[in-house]
Amino acid sequence: MTGPLDGLLVADFSRVLAGPYATMLLADLGADVVKVEGPGGDETRSWTPPQREGISTYYLGINRGKRSVVLDLREADDVAAARELARRADVLIQNLRPGGMAKFGLDFESVRRDNPGVVYASISGFGSGAGAEMPGYDLLVQAMSGLMSLTGSPDGPGYRAGISVFDVMAGNHAVIGILGALRHRDATGEGQHVEVNLMSSALTGLVNHSSAWAAGGVVPYRMGNAHPSVFPYEPFPTADHDLIVIAANDRQFQRLCGALGIPEVAEDERFLHNGDRTTNRDALRPLLEEQLARRTAQEWFDVLTAAGIPCGPINTIDGGFAAAERFGLEPIIEVGEGDRALPTTRHPIRFSATPVDYTLPPPELDEHGAEVRAWLSTAPPEEDA
């Protein structure tokens, strides 16, 4: 066994980000993922720059561990192959608009007739009800969910997050749903339809902001880098660069004031407890800034870290990887061997007994087409697993 999902067959009819990210995670865990692409391939193959040896790094970042087969669903033979793949699959994942798979006989009800144990996962933008016709772009969801109303300066426009955060979140939710459904299948033999949509992932992912509205009737607003409920919890200027400084409880705040040389501030009744500090942040902030301006960010990082205060620099991506290296996280691994070896980001979960599988590099278009088609056309049903 090379991973906890070794022996599981995943038919991947998804494209772009949320679905391919989910199936990459499943492949990392040992599943055999067959990536079904149309004649032009997944759009992300051409999303450049940047690129590595002519291949989009976007595509490379979310498609390791898979086998690629091109199936043109306008052709009867390829539709038949797709249906046979679905019949054999333990998991089928797709992110066409709701109803889009039905015209090929690849919707859940059609697949379930021949494969009652299938776990069929659908990812959409806004669900299969009244929002079914809405296209599922992350930027739309960032806008419509309210995230952009929370991102940016208080007196400026809303901004999108620097990544397609809800695509990634929905991909993770799809994996969680699939694993839950597989556990149910282990117990009952029954498959089921797992539905995930970006909008619901967004609303649950907004956590405290969602709860502010749902439970408190409060509409949160943009605060730049500030936190609505905790202070200090933001970047502060030092003698050279900004430094993130966090004191999320009273004890941390006392240690912070001691390390900054202003222990009396921790005894000020305006700042005794988190609610006091948050309410009186405009009075507290200049007291902290005055002390932090006396040393560089690196000097304060060393002092505050030694005092047990959460703090850190604002890195670029290369700095983030360098920090992970220093922490012993080994953030970059190689997938594949020889000329196909590719440096890529390590899977975030480590298993003590069933290590993550980094065997297959991201596939070239239809790289495994011949072997997959041959297997689909010749393997007897009783040998399918």
Q: Which residues pair with 333 in a beta bridge?
A: 344
Length of the chain: 385
Task: Answer whether residue 92 shows pLDDT above 60.
Answer: yes
- Output phi, psi for 213, to 5 deg: -80, -50
In the chain the beta strands, taken as DSSP E runs, fall at 9-13, 32-37, 51-52, 55-56, 66-70, 91-94, 119-124, 192-197, 233-237, 242-246, 311-313, 332-335, 342-345
Indicate if the pLDDT at residue 154 is higher than 60.
yes
> What CA–CA distances, in Å, run from 262 to 43, 243, 256?
56, 18, 9
Q: pLDDT at position 97, please?
A: 84
Report the pLDDT averaged over residues 68-96. Answer: 96
Sort 162 into a burial class: Cβ within 10 Å, 0-12 / 13-18 / 19+.
exposed
Q: Give the 3-state secondary structure of residue 342.
A: strand
Mean pLDDT of 9-35: 97
Least confident of 66-70, 78-82, 172-176, 338-342: 338-342
Q: Alpha-carbon distance 166 to 120, whole Å?
A: 21
For residue 362, say if its preceding peptide bond is cis, omega within 30 degrees of 0: no
Measured CA to CA, the distance from residue 34 to residue 20 in angstroms comes to 11
* Structure tokens given for 258: 């001691």
Q: Give the per-residue pLDDT at 383.
A: 47
- Give the residue from 21, 12, 28 showing the smallest Cα distance to 359: 28
2 pLDDT exceeds 80? Answer: no
Residue 6, classed as helix, strand or coil, is coil
> Tens digit of pLDDT for each residue in 349-365?
999 999 998 999 999 99
Single out the residue of 93, 85, 96, 100 nearest to residue 177, CA to CA: 93
Identify the pLDDT of residue 384.
47
> What string of DSSP letters covers 263-281?
GGGGGSTTSSSHHHHHHTH
Q: For residues 51 and 192, what is the distance between their CA atoms, to the nearest angstrom?
A: 39
Q: How many whole angstroms separate alpha carbon 226 and alpha carbon 223?
A: 5
Answer whether 271's CB lies under 8 Å from 253's CB: yes
131-148 residue pLDDT tens: 988 999 999 999 999 999
Provide the CA 174 distance to its chain's centre, in angstroms: 10
Q: What is the pLDDT of residues 313-352, one digit of tens each?
A: 999 999 999 999 999 999 999 999 888 899 999 999 999 9
pLDDT the model gives residue 339: 85
| Separation CA 130–CA 343 (nearest Å) | 43
In this predicted structure, what is the pLDDT of residue 385? 40
Say if residue 196's pLDDT is above 60. Answer: yes
Question: 236: Cβ–Cβ under 8 A, 6 or more apart, which residues?
Answer: 242, 243, 244, 245, 285, 288, 289, 292
Examine the pLDDT at 181 and tell me if it is beyond 70. yes
Task: For 261-293, write each residue's pLDDT tens digit.
Answer: 999 999 999 999 999 999 999 999 999 999 999
Mean of the pLDDT values across residues 184-208? 97
pLDDT at 380: 56
DSSP-based three-state secondary structure for 282:
helix
Domains, the chain, ranges and CATH? 9-205+331-383 (3.40.50.10540), 233-326 (3.30.1540.10)
Query: What is the pLDDT at residue 378?
Result: 82
pTM given for the model: 0.92
- Percent of the chain with pLDDT strictly greater than 70: 98
Note the pLDDT of residue 382: 58
Check whether 37 has a pLDDT greater than 80: yes
pLDDT over 90, % of the chain: 92
* Active-site option among 90, 167, 357, 366: 167
Annotated catalytic residue 339: no
